[in-house]
């Protein structure tokens, strides 16, 4: 840990002003810190931050201003240019570390790193042309998920081959943008789980209970805690999380997504060096949520308890679903959260709700 935590009244810079930046800003305010947000145009975080720099993430003047005004900088989005973080790191502490960011930005580097730490992933191959797609599919029995190596999220930049595509329909390298790709073997998973890990500047680690996640069209729909996986799987997920945050010399909150296979194998799908949608439930079911935990880590405060007081189901409110918020808010077990976005669009995350119930088990 730094000798003394940043004193209240200090300023936290956040690159990215979406809902994650907004929720980080709100958590920071509760601990006495003001946030300055770098984001081009209007954004959810602008309504709650003390200062907003209206510029692109790679704007040199804006970055100089951010470094000048902020005592520490963090980010809410893994597609922030690595050069931005490297440039800032020279003049202000930036957490999570650049290594975690660069690793998570390239699915190939990410999978290699995970495997190097001794943790399994889907089998994968780098793809740089149509012939590579055909070769990879052959190797994976015709079933695979082709993904852009960079800039993919919420299922964007992906193509699923389910075993019956004729050869001409696999020649889609150009359709995928002509950019470097990765083919992953298709994992016929029993379920998907994730774990939200936090690591402090002193190396202290705190782990939340794993959540079971359901996706549709690549977007998270629902997270359920407890996740219902065997306790041995939960233990493996915790061990993997510890190995990963230590290997990255990580500071802050990190989301790790896993596939659980039918024969109880645990494979990492991806890591996100930031607060994570599958951890939003912590806001309602834990005294210290993932947003506060991240702020604590980056300002040098001790990490808080990850104890969960309730069972819960978090559901995203996507697009027009946000219109149901007033009705949902009438339910006694519902904790609602609106991101303040002015316009609902298809696939746009507008808010979420966490339904609480009495904690089961011990």
Residues that bind ligand AMP (CB under 6 A): 122, 145, 152, 155, 184, 186-187, 192, 215, 218, 257, 269-270
Nearer CB in complex with ligand AMP: 125/206: 125
Q: Which helix (H) or strand (E) holds 61?
A: helix 60-69
| Distance (Å, whole) CA 243 – CA 105 | 19
Q: Which strands, in side-by-side order, build the sheet including 143-148?
A: 124-127, 181-185, 143-148, 158-162
Tokens found for residue 80: 């922030």
In angstroms, the CA 292 to CA 283 distance is 9
Choose between 271 and 298: whose C-beta lies nearer to ligand AMP: 271
Determine the 3-state secondary structure of 134 from DSSP.
helix
Q: Which is nearer to ligand AMP, 81 or 152 (CB)?
A: 152
35 closest CA partner among 89, 73, 92: 73
Peptide bond into 323 cis (omega under 30): no
Q: How far apart are CA 273 and CA 94, in angstroms?
A: 12
CB of residue 265 to ligand AMP, shortest distance in Å: 13
Q: Which is nearer to ligand AMP, 105 or 269 (CB)?
A: 269
**Complex with ligand AMP: residue 144 or 200, whichever CB lies closer:** 144
Name the residue nearer to ligand AMP (CB basis): 107 or 236. 107
| Residue placing its CB nearer to ligand AMP in the complex, 269 or 293 | 269
Residue 169 contacts by C-beta under 8 Å, 6 or more apart in sequence?
none
CA angle (284 as vertex; 283, 290 as ends), nearest 5: 20
Q: Are 179 and 259 in contact (CB under 8 A)?
A: no
> Considering the complex, what minimum distance in angstroms separates the CB of residue 280 from ligand AMP?
16
Contact 149, 181 (CB under 8 A): yes
């Amino acid at each position: 840990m730094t000798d003394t935590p940043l004193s209240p009244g200090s300023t936290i810079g956040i690159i990215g002003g979406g809902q994650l930046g907004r929720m980080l800003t709100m958590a920071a305010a509760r601990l006495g810190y003001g946030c300055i947000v770098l984001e081009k145009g209007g954004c959810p975080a602008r309504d709650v931050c003390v200062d907003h720099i209206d510029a692109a993430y790679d704007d040199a003047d804006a970055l100089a201003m951010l470094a000048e005004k902020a005592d520490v900088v963090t980010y809410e989005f893994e597609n922030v240019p690595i050069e931005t973080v490297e440039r800032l790191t020279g003049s202000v502490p930036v957490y999570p570390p650049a290594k975690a960011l660069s690793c998570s930005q390239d699915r190939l580097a990410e999978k290699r790193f995970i495997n190097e730490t001794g943790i399994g992933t889907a089998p994968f191959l780098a793809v740089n042309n149509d012939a590579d797609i055909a070769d990879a599919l052959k190797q994976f029995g015709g079933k695979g998920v082709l993904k852009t190596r960079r800039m993919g999220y919420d299922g964007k930049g992906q193509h699923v081959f389910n075993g019956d595509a004729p050869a001409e329909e696999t020649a889609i390298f150009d359709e995928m943008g002509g950019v470097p790709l990765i083919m992953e073997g298709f994992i016929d998973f029993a379920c998907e789980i994730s774990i939200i890990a936090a690591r402090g500047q002193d190396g202290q680690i705190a782990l939340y209970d794993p959540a079971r996640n359901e996706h549709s069209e690549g977007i998270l729909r629902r997270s359920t805690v407890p996740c219902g996986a065997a306790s041995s799987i939960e233990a493996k997920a915790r061990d993997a999380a510890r190995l990963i945050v230590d290997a990255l010399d990580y500071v802050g909150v990190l989301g790790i997504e896993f596939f659980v296979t039918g024969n109880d194998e645990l494979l990492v799908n991806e890591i996100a060096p930031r607060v994570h949608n599958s951890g939003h439930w912590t806001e309602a079911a834990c005294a210290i949520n993932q947003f506060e935990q991240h702020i604590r880590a980056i300002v040098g405060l001790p990490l808080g308890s990850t104890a969960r007081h309730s069972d819960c189901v978090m559901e995203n409110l996507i697009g027009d679903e946000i219109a149901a918020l007033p009705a949902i808010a009438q339910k006694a077990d519902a904790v609602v959260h609106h991101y303040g976005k002015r316009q609902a669009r298809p696939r746009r995350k507008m808010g979420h709700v966490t339904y609480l119930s009495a904690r089961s088990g011990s």
